[in-house]
Structure 1
């Protein structure tokens, strides 16, 4: 083993301007008793080792934090080699135990993964053989790690900083540390990398929501039930865990409690490789948004047309992950410098797609086009609509809603961010929860299916949400094609009085053939392939009575689409 040196850095501390608040204790939190690991069948605690296919597995390796708290990790590496470390940090449990049957349709390639692969983590046996140490860490207060569990805040970022520096200093580590994997393992990368630990050399953020209010817990200000399901997968420990579900109910607006959970992406300077999917209704927006603002000179973005976990464990993904992390953690020459900054999945429908290289996202050659909505014919076109009209629907009846059709006479590519502006009123309530989806429709009337969320092959091609009382925009952050809502106060509706609402439609790619149509759906209920599925994201809505969509004249209801010229 070659000798190495390690310099202990001066760590950041609360109050240095990295977070919007001096300490996390300035905002109200709720906690619930943790479920003891023994209750859920933990395989046992205590340092021990085993060897599998030439890979040394160290169980419950202690990781000390600056305040004396002790975390515990499982480390997979080839003994006697000087290797970089890849940190995978989360509350889910570092041991494989989550029933993948909960994710029916997700297409987990279970048969190609070793039995030691934890949920949403690299196959540690395969990666150890490639010359990396996979270090799967139970976060603060989770499972047998000490402390009180808090999620996505500065405590977690500081723990991550200390974890990076601890592994960098171990005798088997070459001093280079990476961070990442899928979902939570990737989301924590934003806050840790914003602190710039000296030995953090690269982050791989695969499906990494970066604003938990807007992207996971309150789509458009509408609270989701995702937190309830998420807490069922976490909440295991020896003490207390932060009760995200209870606190979400008491923080319906984007206040300091939520602001603590958004890192300053502009402070991230390490090489960054971000990956997401067009159909991901949790991670798509945040992965792209953070990547756009990361200050790293070397950053790469892939948006695939597939499913989250199936793509992460695919052969093409392994090759890319291995090339990226090998280049920045092992000083290999893997051609990453020649990668296109962006690759997007061009979707022809269903699960058929292929990558196309681009220079930026949104695409530099995007032409944004207004299509004015007309309730008289459920249509949309380029011309202003002079005559006022309206269409209404029962806001609480599943499947009821309004729709508008745009027909394309020639092949048309829609790629990027879209915006829908409705003038809306309600007749029995002072609020309205609006769900929007885009569908591609053949001339025959057949809807072209698109992969949606992590588990469905037949869903909408794009989606957006907004609670009407949250319609206030931040004028500095909003653009004509991407509204940015403050979510900091409510603006109630008045009976029968139309107001304009701008709805952000998350990025998409839809390839229309000549004669195809774009159908814009708006409903007060979930637009989802199977809202009753065990892991489906549902919502706590505030609808009652009918919603009325107003068009024409002074009601400039319209959709803004990102059109891509056919010449590349």
Structure 2
């Protein structure tokens, strides 16, 4: 690839804030533009989120949320960022995330950019997380001037990846995301940006907005709600060029690799080791980090400026292949190496069957027998937080043996030679349960000679989300199939490969509501098994990708403020409590939560969460507090929200909402 000298900054830049752009219905979006000082026509790159990131401009044009913004502007792009309607300093109100109106606004903003006299007519999009998902939504609408997008950590099926992986609610939604977004969305716009419209804009928001957590609960059993907001299965609707960048420690590596496989447009994918970060930032754990700004630049240079820079002559897939490292809650640097591939999964990765066998073995042929285990809702102590949630970077999976003790284990003998897994393992289980519903979770682990167990990948499925959405017949054998997350991992000679099966992963999946004893059957009639994508040495090994080093040294974890992340076991009640707290009331908000799970009464699960946020104002002291209580019992899920807004210490606004739905077979 080109060097930093070849792609050096060419322009002095300037930031314009407080721009108002009217939408079809009269709502005005708050827009920030970062662009070269020099007059002329440039391609535009669009980004939008609801995360209140477009306030004061930081010194030296350091953008506080997206480090590539000034970088691209210095190299001949106009970057257009805006707040989602009803959030930040945009007018209007917000009832739920990714609304149809919001998606139309995205389409209209692409075309607004293209129509400006400073634009060449070529428009791209960029963004992480929420800012990545919205790119899929806009790309599906195919605005005529959208030529390329750069998707950093974006799900493609929001029900199965964001709200309910495997069919069970994601606890993090209610521990963190719901209270934080409630506090944000009931906060006022920036007084300087809104001017004399400030009070009226805020009052409209207070009168009409609704906490997002209500829609999370309301639509828990309505896949169509999330499908309308997702890319899948409408891959062919996307016609612009797509650059995918994600990390194994993040939520959406599997989503982005599946998008790469199904899209028919020009595309490339990079999967590194990182969590939910831009990989060029100083706190992007775990490393090794790369300067992904140059990857975005080369992508946009080719598709927005028409430069023949060779970006599509390189292998389309770059993955970091992880290898053994003693698992710890925080991992500054992963072990492994970068690999280029011509496709994903590579042709040399062949699905190899390993049957669950006698004496906890993984066998070449089916072996008759069964194993029965008690459903323990608190299994998942060692799983960490997918995406590292609110605890980042303290959220990596730890030694799996604590959960292995409450799981059914099947494993290989020590490997006579190293094994490499490249692709997506899958599980076939023949099971029965004494309950009408059960969750089946599988972990694939690398076990060192000393017994330390490291998580490679995992997955799970609620029985009612199997091929037939129906209740289990107690003690009747049922076939359950599900895929684990994609992986790229090398297992050393002398290590063992272990499959651990349980019926909970409580930190990442809401416990099912019925106590149970579950049985795994195996043998010729019931061949429970795992399919492993074992990569064999091919005739041609491509050169490893040559990424540039990031601009700043990695942050020393010892200098970072520590979150609260504690797991407590009450031995008398046999109840597990997870406590988390992190943040700053004036800088993104302070979020705290308590999540309680009972091993004796699994239907009784509770999350109590709060976010306290103090938006800035030149003369007023404003405090917004969101309190959320999310509860399940044997029959229902309920979510209660209380918003309290104080102005100079006095209550200015207060409201409560409650949503309650049948939990059904979950």
TM-score per shorter chain, which class? 0.7 to 0.9
Matches within 5 A, 1:223-234: 223-228=169-174, 229-234=176-181
Partner of 1:209: 155
Give the aligned CA root-mean-square deviation in angstroms. 2.4
Q: How many residues align?
A: 461
Give 3-state SS (helix, strand or coil) of 2:312's partner: helix
Relative to 1, partners in 2 of residues 1:419 and 1:384: Cα closer, same or farther, differing over 3 Å? same
State the shift of 1:401 in Å.
Answer: 1.6
Q: Quick one: distance in 2 between partners of 1:465 and 1:329?
A: 41
Of 399, 409, 417, which residue of structure 1 is paired with 2:424?
A: 417
Instruction: Tell me the residue number matched to 1:513.
Output: 492
2:316 paired with 1:341? yes
**1:268 aligned residue (223, 231, 238):** 238
| 1:227 CA displacement | 2.5
Contact persistence 1:96–1:118 (CA under 8 A): no
The Cα of 1:445 is off from its aligned counterpart by 2.0
Secondary structure of the 2:177 match is helix
Tell which deviates more after alignment, 237-246 or 436-445: 237-246
Cα deviation per residue 1:321-350 (whole Å; 9 max; x = unaligned)? 221112222333322121211112121234
Aligned to 2:36: 78
- Indicate how the Cα distance of structure 1 residues 285 and 339 shifts in structure 2: closer, same or farther if over 3 A, else same: same
Deviates more, 1:299-308 or 1:312-321: 312-321
**1:472 maps to which of 446, 467, 471:** 467
SS at match of 2:424: strand
- Residue in 2 that maps onto 1:67: 25
Q: Residue 322 in 1 paired to residue 300 in 2? A: no
C-alpha distance in 2 between matches for 1:79 and 1:256? 46
Of 47, 52, 55, the residue aligned with 1:93 is: 52
Indicate conservation of the 8 Å contact 1:160/1:192, yes or no: yes
Is 1:278 equivalent to 2:278 in the alignment? no
TM-score normalised per structure 2: 0.65
Label 1:292 to 1:122 Cα distance change in 2 as closer, same or farther (>3 A).
farther
Distance 2:20 2:262 in 1: 35
Q: CA deviation at 1:391?
A: 3.3
Q: What secondary structure sits across from 2:112 in the alignment?
A: helix
Cα deviation, 1:255-313, whole Å, max 9, x if unaligned, reads: 32122112322111111100112232x212222222322221x2111122233315253
Q: Which runs of 5+ in 1 are unaligned?
A: 1-52, 98-109, 449-459, 474-489, 532-536
Q: Secondary structure of the equivalent of 1:215?
A: helix
SS in 2 for 1:234: helix
* Conserved 8 A contact 1:405-1:517: yes
Change (3 A) 1:142 1:397: closer
Structure 2 distance, partners of 1:551, 1:356, is 37
Q: Hey, what's the Cα distance between the residues in 1 that align with 2:436 and 2:118?
A: 62
- Answer yes or no: is the 8 Å Cα contact 2:421–2:535 preserved in 1: yes
Whole-angstrom CA distance in 2 between matches of 1:185 and 1:257: 19
Name the structure 2 match of 1:371.
Answer: 354
- Equivalent position of 1:380 in the other structure: 362
Q: 2: CA distance between counterparts of 1:289 and 1:91?
A: 26
C-alpha distance in 2 between matches for 1:406 and 1:140: 54
Instruction: Describe the shift of the 1:522–1:256 C-alpha distance in structure 2 as closer, same or farther (beyond 3 A).
Output: same
Alignment of 1:80-479 (within 5 A): 80-81=38-39, 82-95=41-54, 116-119=62-65, 121-149=66-94, 150-228=96-174, 229-235=176-182, 236=185, 238=202, 239=205, 240-241=208-209, 243-263=211-231, 264-280=234-250, 282-296=251-265, 298-309=266-277, 311-313=279-281, 314-350=289-325, 351-374=334-357, 376-385=358-367, 387-398=368-379, 399=403, 400-407=406-413, 408-427=415-434, 429-448=435-454, 460-472=455-467
Measured after TM superposition, the shift of residue 211 of structure 1 is 1.0
Matched, 1:498 2:477: yes
Answer whether contact 1:393 1:402 (CA < 8 A) is retained.
no
Separation (CA, whole Å) in 2 of partners of 1:384 and 1:538: 31
Q: What is the CA–CA distance in structure 1 between the aligned matches of 2:320 and 2:156, rounded to whole Å?
A: 22
**Cα separation, partners in 2 of 1:358 and 1:91, compared to 1, 3 Å:** same
Separation in 1 of the partners of 2:52 and 2:378?
A: 40
Q: TM-score, normalised by structure 1?
A: 0.76
1:242–1:283 Cα change, 3 Å: farther
Corresponding residue SS for 1:509 = strand
Q: Which moved more, 1:324-333 or 1:187-196?
A: 324-333
The corresponding residue for 2:658 is none
The residue number in structure 2 matching 1:9 is: none
Q: CA deviation at 1:366?
A: 2.4
